[in-house]
Amino acid sequence: MSIVPFDDRDGWIWLDGQFVPWREATVHVLTHGLHYASAVFEGERMYGGVIYELTAHTERLFKSAEILDFQIPFTVAQIDQACKDTCAKNGLTDAYVRPIAWRGSEMIGVSAQMTKIHVAIACWEWPSYFKPEEKAKGIRMCWAKYKRPSPETEPVHAKASGLYMICTISKHAAEKDGYTDAMMLDYRGYVAESTGSNVFFIKDGVIHTPVADCFLNGITRQSVIKLAQAKGFEVIERHIRPEELSEFSECFVTGSAAEVTPVAEIGEYRFTPGNISLSLADDYSKLVRRELVEA
């Protein structure tokens, strides 16, 4: 598979308030964010020239920074505009957008209160997180080795780079064994989320989804819940034991990158993409492209 390195591309990246050529958007090797994971980020999608739920994403970026004890040196409105401008500067109307904020290299150590806070925004074409043929028949997932931590041990409600370490490990292990992704349990043993998306299950026409009490309450997750309720479906947010998966007929995952993707397999459990999963996937696709008004 041919890979185009992300550090060797044409285009522009918004960095600390100005555009710099893509290849020149660099940081020092002693940047605090690299050594101590003092970085927060967002993943957003632009459809037809409009970034879906842009302000909600930006506000979450600021909240994540606050949780990690630093302030972003711009306003929400300025970052919103910078995201739009970055897409325009790169000539993109359908794109994935990645804002990120991090502590700089003025101090290297656990204490880094005097570091400069940097912000960058990049965007690129990214048609689908999963292959089209996988989405059509449902993706295959295994169980992750690592669990989502307790809110008492990590800042679980921040979209912080350090919290994705176990996600990368788990997804690599899944792909090595021929799966598309891995499903993670939480610290109590309940079903939590995949390595990069929230999960929903269907039983007798009722939609069940884990309570987002130790992982991100995804923006796409919230949109899909509203869409489902608008269609008259009951949505129950609760703790789900892994052995309950044998009782569900359908399963799908949601996220800005994943959008709405049916699941065919999680470990020993099997699901069949059905009318509810497929209709919500279609509704979400119409919503983000402004073909459907969210209730």
CATH of the domain at 140: 3.20.10.10
User: Residue 138 corresponds to which tokens in the numbers above?
Assistant: 């449902």
Phi-psi label, residue 192: left if phi above 0, alpha if psi -120 to 50, beta otherwise: alpha
Is residue 168 a part of any domain in this protein? yes
pLDDT at 131: 61
- 59 and 154 housed in the same domain: no
């044998």: which residue's tokens? 246
- Containing structural domain, residue 177: 132-288
SS3 string, 109-147, reads: CCCCCCCCEEEEEEEECCCCCCCHHHHHHCEEEEECCCC
On average, the pLDDT of the chain sits at 95
Helix (H) or strand (E) holding 38: none
With contact defined as beta carbons under 8 Å apart, do 140 and 264 qualify?
Answer: yes
**pLDDT band of 134, cuts 50, 70, 90:** low
Q: Give catalytic residue positions.
A: 159
- 113 and 199 housed in the same domain: no
With contact defined as beta carbons under 8 Å apart, do 262 and 139 qualify?
Answer: yes
| Residue where a domain stops, chosen among 124, 153, 174 | 124
| Percent residues over pLDDT 90 in the chain | 93
Is residue 119 a part of any domain in this protein? yes
Instruction: Spell out the residues 6+ positions from residue 172 whose beta carbon is closer than 8 angstroms to its own.
Output: none
pLDDT at 68: 97
Is residue 2 a part of any domain in this protein? no
**pLDDT band of 3, cuts 50, 70, 90:** confident
- 117 and 144 housed in the same domain: no
For the stretch 241-263, pLDDT in tens is 999 999 999 999 999 999 999 99
For the stretch 271-288, pLDDT in tens is 999 999 999 999 999 999
**pLDDT band of 267, cuts 50, 70, 90:** very high
- 193 and 231 housed in the same domain: yes
Is residue 72 a part of any domain in this protein? yes
- 62 and 114 housed in the same domain: yes
For the stretch 32-73, pLDDT in tens is 999 999 999 999 999 999 999 999 999 999 999 999 999 999
- 218 and 193 housed in the same domain: yes
Q: What average pLDDT does this structure show over 141-156?
A: 97
Domains held by the chain: number: 2
Instruction: Spell out the residues 6+ positions from residue 18 whose beta carbon is closer than 8 angstroms to its own.
Output: none
Angle of helix 219-230 relative to helix 54-67, nearest 10 degrees? 130
- 136 and 91 housed in the same domain: no
With contact defined as beta carbons under 8 Å apart, do 161 and 211 qualify?
Answer: no
pLDDT at 294: 57
User: Residue 22 corresponds to which tokens in the numbers above?
Assistant: 């893509």
